[in-house]
Amino acid sequence: MLLITCPYCGVAAEETELHGGGEAHLKRFGPDSSDDDFTGYLFHRENPKGVHFERWRHVNGCGKWFHAARCTNTLEVFGTYSAQTTEPPKDILDTIRAKRPGFKWRDIA
């Protein structure tokens, strides 16, 4: 079972109280972008065994979207952070680097 702490209401919410929103920190490519960029934005997703950054919504709760960094292999949650950011905060990255030396996720390492 996955327990993720919502950064907005502070509840350690159980998985059924949340809804997954897919990969985090996608850069949107819309009209006027190249076909390659648009394809990448639309279809190409990371599917790691290990460290992953995701969007979640506290749907049966405060209703807020937020980000979570977790390990897809052990279900360990490294931390959660605000949705209003385009990259993971430094303290979360430091936590992950300490626990998973050498991890790589897209261009974050």
Partner 1 sequence: MSDVALALGGATFDGLVKIEELAHGMITLRGDLTDKAIVAAVKDVFGVTLPGTRETAFAGSTGALWMSPDEALLLCPYDEAQTKADDLAAKLADAHALVVNVSDARAVFQLKGRMLREVIAKLAPVDMSPDAFTPGMVRRTRMAQVAAAFWMDDASTARVVCFRSVAAYMFGILSTSADDAAAVNHFAG
Considering the rule CB under 8 A, would residue 57 count as an interface residue with partner 1?
no
Binding residues for partner 1, total number by CB under 8 A: 14
Q: Which residues contact 63 (CB under 8 A, 6 or more apart)?
A: 57
How is 6-22 classified by DSSP, letter by letter? -TTT--EEEGGG-EEEE
13 forms part of the interface with partner 1 (CB under 8 A)? yes
For partner 1, the closer of residues 21 and 40 by Cβ is 21
Which is closer to partner 1, CB of 11 or CB of 26?
Answer: 11
Cβ at position 34, least distance to partner 1 in Å: 38
- Find the helix or strand (DSSP H, E) in which 41 lies: helix 35-43
Cβ proximity to partner 1, 63 vs 74, nearer residue = 63
The minimum distance between CB 58 and partner 1, in angstroms, equals 9
Q: Which residues contact 17 (CB under 8 A, 6 or more apart)?
A: 11, 58, 59, 60, 61
Please identify which residue in 33, 39, 60, 85 interacts with partner 1, judged by CB under 8 A.
Answer: 60
Interacting residue ranges for partner 1, rule: CB under 8 A: 8-11, 13-14, 16-17, 59-64
